[in-house]
Structure 1
Amino acid sequence: MFKTVLILGHIRGIRIQLHISWVFILILLVASMSTGLHHQYPDWSLAVAGVTAVVTALLFFASILAHELGHSLVALRRGVPVESITLFIFGGVAQMERDPERAEDEFWIAIAGPAVSVVLALGFAALAQATAGWFEPIPVALGWLALINLIVAIFNLIPGFPLDGGRVFRAVVWKLTGNPRRAIEAAVWGGRIVAFLLFGVAFWNLVVIGNLVGGLWIMLIAWFLLTMAEGQGRMFDMRERLADVRARDLASPDPPCVRPETSIDAWIQRDVLPGGRRAFLVGTPERVRGLVSLSDSGKLPREQWATRRVDEIMTPAESLSWVAPDTRAEEVLRVMGERNLNQIPVMEASGRAIGWIDRQQLLRTIEMHMELQRQ
């Protein structure tokens, strides 16, 4: 299966990964930069301009990674777990396992990224000055890195979600009012205003200036910011309404089970096809041996299904993803989304399965919980 994310490694337990969209922006950046450098410095060969562009682009993305690490390391110091950092077409994003619970934590986590970018800008500017008499591409690249890091810092401080400035703004409003809902609404409105202003700039580039590529790119950024801002608002609303909902409230009792010695063919004909269920626990609720899904049947040729057992193709219990009965609904959604699960058992610490959460059933149940809480 084609993977959209490449894992590079881990830093302080944080997974560092590249989204496939990063490759496109890297190619675009290198191509435009090498062309621009060759025109600006005609005495440079194409090879020198190209190598300078590649090295500068990679250092730029290293700067973006440092920016996100700034957020992440401060988050860890303040007790907020960080799952991953992903570099993608619009830069980078740090995926935290939960939102900060205090305005002070939100402020310092948000401000850390732009602070890192400012420090990098000053550092690259100092290096550009120090290397001014060296091989010309070196100070040129360092000067560009200083400027772009400063731009990243300033742009991210615009007070609207999902930019860092939006989170700083949210923290300030939260601290002044003591009301996290009012703070999130203010930050979302800030994000909308920023997005609409960028749409205006994009329209100006397209219609007045005739800059098709620049206008479309700005419009894409505006759409991304607006979508993310609206998404943050909806996510906060869902978290607030589902704060007291736990996995036990979302689970269907009596999880579907199949005996381990059952043949694959008998399981499919007797249990899967009539009921429409795609996955079953193997064993009993009291003694779960593993989980088998319809996709697991593809591990063996169809002609062997009649003679091979389900426990030969199951995911064993020790490798099984599951949630505890008191797991928050938000956490259940996160686990199922990150691990791309269509179902997940609810199990006690003793290993007994007390329920079963199906993705579609989960979304319907959450929708009903939210509808009831609005009444």
Structure 2
Amino acid sequence: MFKSVLVIGHFRGIRLEVHISWLIIFVLLLSTMSSGFQRQHPDWTMTTAVLTALVTSLLFFASIVAHELGHSLVAIRRGVPVNAITLFIFGGVAQMTRDPDKANDEFWIAIAGPAVSLILAAAFGLLAALNGEGPAPVPVALGWLATINLAIAIFNMIPGFPLDGGRVLRAAVWKATGDLRKGNAAAYASGRLVAYGLFGLALWNMLLAGNLAGGLWIMLIAWFLLNMTQAQENQFLLRDRLSGVRAQDLADTDVPLVNARSAVETWLQRDVLPSGRRAFLVGDAADRIEGLVSLSDTRKVPQAQWADTTVGEIMTPAERLHHVAPHARVDEVMQLVNQHNLNQVPVMEGGRVSGWIDRQRLLRTIEIHLQVKR
């Protein structure tokens, strides 16, 4: 199966990923930088220009990772878990499992990325100055890295969501008013304003300045920012509308059970096919759950062995099951489902199952709440 994301490593429990779209910007940057170096330094050979561009490009993307690590490490320190950092065509993003609970946390998490970029700009600039008498490619590459990191810091501090400056604006309004809704409203409005401004700049480049390629790229960035702003606004609206709904309100109390000693063939013929259910909890009673078995688990053994294989041998053990408490918020359930790609989430308390939530039920509830006007 084709994967759009490649894991390149881990740092302090944070997964480092490269999205397939990153290859586009990497190739474009490498090509543009190589030709640019050759024009600016005609005494360089093609090999020197390409190798300098390659090393500089890799250090540039390492700088993007460092920027996102700045956000991530501060987030973790302030109690906001981070799953991964992903490089993609528009840069990088730290995948936090939830938003901060306090305005101060939002501010420090947002400001950390640009702060790292400023530090990198100063460090590369100092190294460029110290290597001024060395081989030309070294100070040239270091000078370019200093400039681009400074540009990243400045661009990200534009007060338009989802840029870091927009998050700082949200934190400031949230802190001043004590109202997260007002902070979000200001951030989303600023995000749209910045996106529309970039659209205008893109049209100016294409129609008046004759810079078609540059204009198209700016338009893509504007489109991305506008879509991200709209997506974040929809998520906040959804969380707000579902704020009073708990896991126990969504749970199906008719939880199907199967004995761990039942043969897989028997379970399929007796339980799955007649009921149309794709998954069952394994155990003798709601307070004696041993695990969960689903149709996908049957792939662990050949069909010819189903009659001689028990459900207990292919199930996911109880200690590895992801579950939620009855009073868990719906957004917590959504986060768990999306984070671990789950189809069923048992609702448990004190080792006893009171129900479960399947993905279809959760999505149906979300759809209904989005359609209800308040």
TM-score normalised over the length of structure 2: 0.92
Matching residue of 2:295: 294
Alignment of 1:252-263 (within 5 A): 252-263=252-263
Paired amino acid for 2:321? L
- Check whether the contact 1:161–1:232 (CA below 8 A) recurs between aligned residues: no
Alignment of 1:92-241 (within 5 A): 92-241=92-241
Listed one character per residue, the Cα deviations across residues 283-309 of structure 1 (whole Å, up to 9, x for unaligned) are: 232222222222222233333334433
Instruction: Give the match's secondary structure for 1:274.
Output: helix
Equivalences, count: 373
CA pair 311-79 structure 1, distance change in 2 beyond 3 A: closer
Q: Distance in 2 between matches of 1:166 and 1:354?
A: 42
Q: Distance in 2 between matches of 1:300 and 1:15?
A: 31
Q: Distance in 1 between matches of 2:220 and 2:283?
A: 51
Matching residue of 1:331: 332
Paired amino acid for 2:100? P
Q: Distance in 1 between matches of 2:225 and 2:275?
A: 43
1:277 and 2:312 aligned: no
CA pair 107-132 structure 1, distance change in 2 beyond 3 A: same
- Check whether the contact 1:238–1:370 (CA below 8 A) recurs between aligned residues: yes
Listed one character per residue, the Cα deviations across residues 254-295 of structure 1 (whole Å, up to 9, x for unaligned) are: 322222233333333333333332221122322222222222
Paired amino acid for 2:224? F
CA pair 80-258 structure 1, distance change in 2 beyond 3 A: same
Shift of 1:12: 3.4
Paired amino acid for 1:266? T
Shift of 1:212: 4.0
Matching residue of 1:53: 53
Shift of 1:17: 2.6
Instruction: Give the match's secondary structure for 2:28.
Output: helix
Shift of 1:241: 2.9
Listed one character per residue, the Cα deviations across residues 187-222 of structure 1 (whole Å, up to 9, x for unaligned) are: 101111111122222333344445443333222211
Paired amino acid for 1:170? R
Q: Distance in 2 between matches of 1:273 and 1:231?
A: 39
- Check whether the contact 1:242–1:370 (CA below 8 A) recurs between aligned residues: no
Shift of 1:116: 1.4
CA pair 250-126 structure 1, distance change in 2 beyond 3 A: same
CA pair 253-120 structure 1, distance change in 2 beyond 3 A: same
Listed one character per residue, the Cα deviations across residues 7-42 of structure 1 (whole Å, up to 9, x for unaligned) are: 344333333333232233222222221222123222
Paired amino acid for 2:290? R
Listed one character per residue, the Cα deviations across residues 61-109 of structure 1 (whole Å, up to 9, x for unaligned) are: 1111111122222223333333332222211112223222222222222
TM-score normalised over the length of structure 1: 0.92
Q: Distance in 1 between matches of 2:45 and 2:14?
A: 41
More displaced stretch, 36-45 vs 1-10? 1-10
Alpha carbon RMSD of aligned pairs, Å?
A: 2.2
Instruction: Give the match's secondary structure for 2:291.
Output: strand
CA pair 25-270 structure 1, distance change in 2 beyond 3 A: farther
Paired amino acid for 2:324? V
Q: Distance in 2 between matches of 1:333 and 1:87?
A: 24
Shift of 1:370: 6.0
Shift of 1:139: 0.5
CA pair 291-65 structure 1, distance change in 2 beyond 3 A: same
Matching residue of 2:21: 21
Matching residue of 1:319: 320
Paired amino acid for 2:334? L
Q: Distance in 2 between matches of 1:14 and 1:59?
A: 20
More displaced stretch, 49-58 vs 134-143? 49-58
Matching residue of 2:34: 34
Q: Distance in 2 between matches of 1:180 and 1:122?
A: 35
Instruction: Give the match's secondary structure for 1:233.
Output: helix
- Check whether the contact 1:162–1:225 (CA below 8 A) recurs between aligned residues: yes
Q: Which runs of 5+ in 1 are unaligned?
A: none
Listed one character per residue, the Cα deviations across residues 113-149 of structure 1 (whole Å, up to 9, x for unaligned) are: 1111112111111111111111111111111101111
- Check whether the contact 1:324–1:349 (CA below 8 A) recurs between aligned residues: no
Shift of 1:357: 0.9
Q: Distance in 2 between matches of 1:323 and 1:32?
A: 50
Listed one character per residue, the Cα deviations across residues 304-339 of structure 1 (whole Å, up to 9, x for unaligned) are: 334433223222222222222232211111111111
More displaced stretch, 67-76 vs 57-66? 67-76
- Check whether the contact 1:281–1:292 (CA below 8 A) recurs between aligned residues: yes
Listed one character per residue, the Cα deviations across residues 46-71 of structure 1 (whole Å, up to 9, x for unaligned) are: 22111111111111111111111222
Paired amino acid for 2:65? L
Instruction: Give the match's secondary structure for 2:281.
Output: strand
More displaced stretch, 53-62 vs 237-246? 237-246
Paired amino acid for 1:347? M
Matching residue of 2:77: 77
Q: Distance in 1 between matches of 2:275 and 2:209?
A: 61
- Check whether the contact 1:344–1:356 (CA below 8 A) recurs between aligned residues: yes
